Amino acid sequence: MIEVRDAAGIQRNDRQVVALVGRYAVISTGRHMVIVEHADGSTSSTNQVVRVVLDDMAWVDLRVRPEPEMTALTGKRVVATGRLIARSTREGPGAHPDPSPTLVDIESVVEQ
């Protein structure tokens, strides 16, 4: 498994399955709520998203994560495994790239 610990690793490993190593941080979106669709089809909303802050202070968004995970891992060093998207390539009317690197298809997030 490729380990990513800094911004250079983000660019080098775009669209690869990687293990991000860094600090788990919960970020408030303020008044802006994010709608979450659950496996059973129900929805809820939250104003908290997660990122992994790498050794050089670059970060990768994990977006919305389960509340128990956020409570247990906030501020701790973690390894998050999934597919790294260095820069989104959205297309279509009104679409624009997401400038934040994001981890998708997340397999696991565990304390290091």
Model confidence at 90: pLDDT above 70: no
Residue 49 Cα distances to 22, 29, 93, 111, angstroms: 16, 7, 26, 18
So what's the pLDDT on residue 38? Answer: 77
- List phi, psi (to 5°) of 111: -65, 140
Over residues 24-82, the pLDDT tens digits come to: 999 998 898 888 887 788 888 889 999 999 999 999 999 999 999 999 999 999 999 99
Q: What is the pTM of this model?
A: 0.85
User: Domains along the chain?
Assistant: 2-111 (2.40.50)
Q: What is the pLDDT of residue 94?
A: 58
